[in-house]
Amino acid sequence: MKLDWNGRSLEVRESGTGPAIVLVHGYPLDGAMWSSVARNLSDRFRVLKPDLPGRADNPAGSEGSIASYADFIEALVASADSRVGLAGFSMGGYVCLELMKRRPPSVKALALVDTRASADDEGGKANRAAAIATLRAEGVGPIAEAMLPKLLSPDGMKRTDLVERVRRIMLRQTPDTIESDLTAMRDRSDSTDLLAQLALPTLVLTGEHDGISPPEVSRAMAQKIPGARFIEIAGAGHLTPLEQPTAVAQALGDFFGETLI
């Protein structure tokens, strides 16, 4: 679909027909991380998988804040349909939670995938600052290599095709884009208090071996959301949509099928 954003006409990748689902990607990735999930969902839904600002399909400038990323997704959601399902992975979950603080009327169901509501603590902020220093000194390569074992489970790291696919997505991001993401995540506001106020169907999903948003953290987050359901994806690390796309698509399809159709 076409979207006018910050003076540019952007093409947002979409597939399928039916109720609209917007899939928001994480760091340090782009919308292609959702491709296998989108293919599985496109027989029932109109699936939109945008690039956040600063990436190939969205060259609009990024302000380096979760709020500015939420501005973009808010514009996309408003243009997509009157009933939209919203799913955010990791950093994309931060974006979705920021957007939900604005109570967008067209969002009727929310999926939080391998993410958390809390802001970075001082140790987390220091790690972001260290990553920015590495990025400025050495480029994207070391960031990508450090992220791989954090994104994938030990079994996933043995799958050469999967590792290479994830690596390719990361390495095509520019240093400016990666720094924008790191700054946005470091400086994001806490969304924990929002959880009890979420008055729409919500799914919390995480990988069995997710070391960034572990199952116990995700389960506790789900317990704070009225009526939320929790699903743990077996055999997956943090990057569940790429490591176990069929299971993730099944979970999202069942959830959005009940809440949007």
Q: What is the pLDDT of residues 107-120, one digit of tens each?
A: 999 999 999 999 99
Whether the predicted model's global pTM rises above the 0.85 cut: yes
Do residues 55 and 37 lie in contact, with contact meaning Cβ atoms separated by under 8 Å? no
- Paired tokens of 19: 């109720």
Amino acid in position 64: G
Closest CA to 245 of 205, 199, 200, 212: 205
Strand order in the sheet with 229-233: 14-15, 46-48, 20-24, 84-89, 107-113, 202-207, 229-233
Question: What pLDDT band is residue 243 in, cutting at 50, 70 and 90?
Answer: very high
Closest CA to 89 of 61, 60, 69: 69
Residues shown for the chain: 261
Do residues 187 and 65 lie in contact, with contact meaning Cβ atoms separated by under 8 Å? yes
Q: Where residue 222 sits, what CATH number does that domain have?
A: 3.40.50.1820
Q: Please count the structural domains in the chain.
A: 1
The parent domain of residue 15 ranges over: 2-260
**What average pLDDT does the structure give for the chain?**
96
Q: Cα–Cα distances in Å, from 230 out to 101, 207, 225? A: 21, 11, 10
From CA 239, how far away is CA 212, in angstroms rounded? 10
Rounded to an integer, the average pLDDT of 121-131 is 98
